[in-house]
Amino acid sequence: MTQRIAFQGEPGAYSHQACVNARPEMEALPCRTFEDVIAAVHEGEAALAMLPVENTTFGRVPDNHNLLPQSGLHIVDEAFVRVHINLLGVPGARLGEITSAMSHPVLLGQCREFLKLHGIQRVTGADTAGSARHVAELGDRKLAALAGDLAGEIYGLDVLARHIEDQGNNTTRFLVMGLEPDFTHRGDHGMITTFVFQVRNIPAALYKAMGGFATNGVNMTKLESYMVGGSFTATQFYADIEGHPEDPNVRLALDELRYFTTMLKILGTYPADAARR
């Protein structure tokens, strides 16, 4: 099997950093879109996919919540990346010379206070790592990029200011996915099971479906709804719970859930990352 892990974005992106953190022994494969990441695994170009699903500041990544159930892949692990943002300039540049900073709009918005303090104008780029590459190629001492450490290393940029984000706890959660599920018990911090479901069209169906988790003492750490099939009435739910499907209390809760649903699909069971604690 190809020892690569695919991610969306340019080399140096935060998704690339997630690959380096979670699977340092694997070669990271950049892809243009999330769909390309999934296709790379199906086509044998990569063994695993690294997909972001939520951020503590900006919430979920909608594209991937819609892609996951139909991806044909299974969640085998999770990873968390603390989003530290640096001001990166061409070699020899100084902070006082910078008049403009380029990055993805999300990162520009996360550094408002720093940029305002130093009178630096914001320039919208396609993405973080791509902005770093552009700054390196342009060679303008007055233009900087907002990106992570890895992007600076890859494109040979100097760190003019480190960790300039306004919020000190910005973190992105990623899911590591592969072609085959792994239902083994593993890890030192318990197991997480992720699934999607649609409830039957009966009164209080969701309330009744959730009852089994409460009565069986299963902690649900995430429950989100989103529309499917372009319909306002077809709602699908995405959920994370603590535990393994073979645990007696989890098995009972899932059995009760099945009674109130028209569809239930387990996307994976995997070890909880230490960053959850």
Give catalytic residues, as residue numbers: 172, 174
How buried is 107 (Cβ within 10 angstroms: 0-12 exposed, 13-18 middle, 19+ buried)? Answer: buried
Which DSSP string do the residues of 211-273 spell out, in sequence order?
HHHHHTT--EEEEEEEE-TT-SS-EEEEEEEES-TTSHHHHHHHHHHHHTEEEEEEEEEEEPP
Q: What DSSP designation does 120 have? A: P
